[in-house]
Amino acid sequence: RVGEVSYRLALPPQLSHVHNVFHVSLLRGYNYHPYHVVQYPFDKIREDLSFAKEPEAILDRQERVMRKKTIPLVKVLWKNHPEREATWENEEMMWTDYPHFFSRFGTFPFKFRH
Q: Hey, where are the domains in the chain?
A: 6-44, 55-103
Residue 74's CB is within 10 A of a number of other CB atoms, namely 24
**What Rg value do the Cα atoms of the chain yield, rounded?**
19
pLDDT tens for each residue of 20-38? 898 888 888 888 887 777 6
Greater pLDDT, 51 or 104: 51
Residue 64 is predicted with a pLDDT of 93
Asked if 109 and 91 count as a contact pair (C-beta separation under 8 A), the reply is no
Edge to edge, what strands does the sheet with 55-66 contain? Answer: 55-66, 69-78, 87-90
Q: Is the pTM of this model over 0.75?
A: no
Mean local confidence (pLDDT), 92-109:
73
User: Domain 55-103 is in which class?
Assistant: mainly beta
